[in-house]
Amino acid sequence: MKNIISLAWKNIWRNKVRSAVIISAIAIGLFSGTFLLAFMNGWILGTVDSDIRTQYSHIQIHNTEFLANNDVSAYFMRNEIEQKISTVPIVPKVTHRLNLNGMLASPHNALGVTAKGVFPDEEILVTDVWQHIADTMGVFLTDDSRMPIVISSRTAEKLRVRLRSRIVFTFQDANGEMQSLAFRVDGIYGTTNAIFDEVTVFVRYADILPYTALPEGAVHETAILFPTIEDANLALSQIKEKFPDKTVRLWSELNPALAMYFAFTEFMGFIILGIFLFALSFGIINTMLMAVLERTRELGMLGAIGMSKRNIFSMIMLETIFLTLVGGAIGIMLGIAVILPTMETGIDLSFFMADQFEDFGFGSMVYPVFDFAMFTQVVVLVLITGILSAIYPAMKALKLKPLDEMRS
C-alpha cells in the first residue's frame, strides 16, 4: 500500500497543467462555498444577536390578557417575578417595563408609537439601545433630566424634532381616561432594525407610572437576558413552571420568521456548499477519465506484470482523492485567509443597498462566522466528494483488458 500511495502521488504530477487546472477549480469552488457559508452564518447570527439584545431579550413574560388586546390594566407585580426568577440556576439579567400604546406628537407631525416605561439602570444591562446613541445625540434617560424621552432617528426625522425638543405623548390609562404628557428629547438612537426604531420610544418608569392609574410596582413586561441562547433554552421550562398563569415566550416565539432563518441557515449553507462540490465532482470525474484513457497501455502493462485489479483500483482512487484534498486544502486556506480578517472588521453592505437592509430588520454590517465544527464538516464534505468522484474512473480502469492494451 505504501508503494501504491507513492505511485498515485507521483502520477497526479505527471501532467502538471491538467492537475493544476482541476486543483484550481476545486480550490476556487471550495473557497467560494466556504466564504458563503461563513457569510450566511454571520449575517443571520448577527441579526439574531442584535434583535435579542435590542428588542426581544431571550425570554419575555406577559400577562396573557395584555397580549390579547394590549389592555393597560392587564399587569402583574414585578416583585412576584423577582422572587421566583432569583431561584433559576443560571441567574439572568432582568428588566421590567410598562408598554403603553399611544400617539407621539410634535408641532409638525404625529406618530403612533409604543412607549416603554423602563428602569434605566436595569434596561442598560439587558438591552443595548443606549449603545446606539451617538456621542452627539444625547444620553439614555439620565436622572438629572426632567421628563426625558429617548426616540429613534427615524422618529425624530418624521416628527422634525431634535435634542431638547418638546413632544407630547398621549395614551389611555387603566381607567380609560386620556392622558397627555410633555417630554423633552433626551437622546436619539439608531439601531439596525428600522421596524423597531419607528415604533419604540423610551421613558422613565417613575415619570409615567403616576399617570397610568396603576399601582406602584405594576409592569406589563419582564425581559430576561441569559449569557447564551443555550442557557435560555435550558431555563425556559423552569420559568414556565414558575409562572403557569402567565405567557412565557422564547425569542424564537416572539419572532418566528427570524427563528426559521436561524434554524435553516447552517443547513442551507451546506446545501449551497454541496451544490458547489457536486458541480466540481463532474470536473474531477472528467479529468480522471481522461487520465485513465490516456494511460490504457500503462495500466494494461501494470496488469500484465502482476498488479492486481484491487491495487489498480486503489491507485486511481488515491489519485482522485489526492487531487481533491490538495484543491480542498488550498480552497479552505484561502477562505480562512479572507474570513479571519473580516470576522473582526466586518463586511459593510451599505454600498449595495444603502440602508434598505435595515428596513427588513437586517444589519448592513456582516461579521462572518467560521468555527472548528464548521471546518470539520467542510473537510468531511470534501473527502466524501473525492471518494465518490473517484469510483467511476477507478471502475473504468478495471474494465481494461491487459493483453488487448499491450497489443494496441
Same-domain pairing of 22 and 66: no
Does residue 391 belong to any structural domain of this protein?
yes
pLDDT in tens, 206-229: 999 999 999 999 999 999 999 888
Instruction: Tell me: do 40 and 169 sit in the same domain.
Output: no
Residue 262 amino acid letter: F
The answer to whether residues 41 and 265 touch, using CB atoms and an 8 Å cutoff, is: yes
To which residue does cell 437586517 refer? 362
Do 275 and 305 fall within a single domain?
yes
pLDDT value at residue 363: 63
Domain span holding position 285: 2-52+259-407
Dist CA 318 CA 350 (whole Å): 46
pLDDT of residue 266: 66
Mean pLDDT of 377-405: 74
Q: Over the stretch 327-352, which tens digit does the pLDDT of each residue have?
A: 888 988 888 888 888 888 888 776 66
107 and 64 belong to one structural domain: yes
Residues 300 and 164 in one domain: no
Asked whether residue 67 falls in the same domain as residue 212, the answer is yes
pLDDT in tens, 226-265: 988 889 988 899 999 999 999 999 998 988 877 777 777 7
pLDDT at 24: 87
Our measurement of the distance from residue 337's CA atom to the centroid of its chain's CA atoms, rounded to an integer in Å, reads 21
Residue 250 lies in a domain: no
CA nearest neighbour of 233 among 58, 389, 41, 18: 58
CB 99 within 8 A of CB 114: yes
**Residues in contact with 367: Cβ distance below 8 Å, sequence separation at least 6, in sequence order:** 42, 46, 342, 343, 344, 346, 347
User: So what's the pLDDT on residue 55?
Assistant: 86
Structure confidence at residue 182 (pLDDT): 95
Through-space distance between the first and last CA atoms of the chain, rounded to whole angstroms? 29
Q: Are residues 339 and 203 in the same domain?
A: no
Unique residue bearing C-alpha cell 422572587 = 83
Res. 66: pLDDT tops 80: yes
CA angle (261 as vertex; 335, 95 as ends), nearest 5: 110
Percent with pLDDT over 90 in the chain: 35
Instruction: Determine, yes or no, domain membership for 236.
Output: no
Burial level of 333, CB count in 10 A (0-12/13-18/19+)?
A: middle
Please indicate, yes or no, whether residues 209 and 275 belong to a single structural domain of this protein. no
- Residue 293 and residue 209 share a domain: no
Q: What is the 3-state secondary structure (H, E, C) of 240-296?
A: HHHCCCCEEEEHHHHCHHHHHHHHHHHHHHHHHHHHHHHHHHHHHHHHHHHHHHHCH
Tell me: do 209 and 304 sit in the same domain.
no
Cβ pair 308, 7 in contact under 8 A: no
pLDDT per position as a tens digit, 273-327: 778 778 878 878 887 787 777 777 777 777 777 777 788 788 888 888 888 888 8
**Amino acid (one-letter) located at 45:** L
Asked which of 83-87, 359-363, 397-401 is least confident by mean pLDDT, the reply is 359-363
Residue 89: what pLDDT? 77
**CA 308/CA 128 separation, integer angstroms:** 68
Distance CA 164, CA 185 (A): 5
DSSP state for residue 52 in the 8-state scheme: I
Say how far apart CA 4 and CA 16 lie, in whole Å.
Answer: 20
Residue 316 lies in a domain: yes
Report pLDDT for 316.
82
Q: Give yes or no: residues 294 and 394 share one domain.
A: yes
Say if strands 110-118 and 200-204 run parallel, antiparallel, or are unpaired.
parallel
More confident site: 339 or 103: 103
Query: What's the rounded mean pLDDT across residues 196-214?
Result: 94
pLDDT beyond 70 at 376: yes
Domain count, the chain: 2
Please report whether residue 93 resides in a domain. yes
Residue 29 lies in a domain: yes
Q: Pick 283 or 148 by higher pLDDT.
A: 148
**Which residue from 401, 386, 398 is spatially nearest to 317, judged by alpha carbons?**
386
On whether residue 299 sits in a domain, the answer given is: yes
Which residue, 225, 249, 277, sits at the end of a domain?
A: 225
pLDDT at 362: 62
Q: What is the pTM of this model?
A: 0.75
Of residues 221 and 405, the one with the higher pLDDT is 221
Are 39 and 243 spatial neighbours (Cβ–Cβ below 8 Å)? no
Question: Domain check: are 92 and 108 in the same one?
Answer: yes
Cell 388586546 found at: 69
CB neighbourhood size of 360 (10 A): 11
Residue 233 lies in a domain: no
Would you say residue 356 has pLDDT above 60?
A: no
Which of the listed residues 180, 207, 225 is the one where a domain comes to its end? 225
Angle at 44 between CA 40 and CA 45, to 5 degrees: 110
Task: Among 148-152, 266-270, 356-360, 396-400, name the most confident range.
Answer: 148-152
Q: How far is CA 63 from the centre of its chain?
A: 30
Among 182, 209, 225, the domain boundary falls at: 225
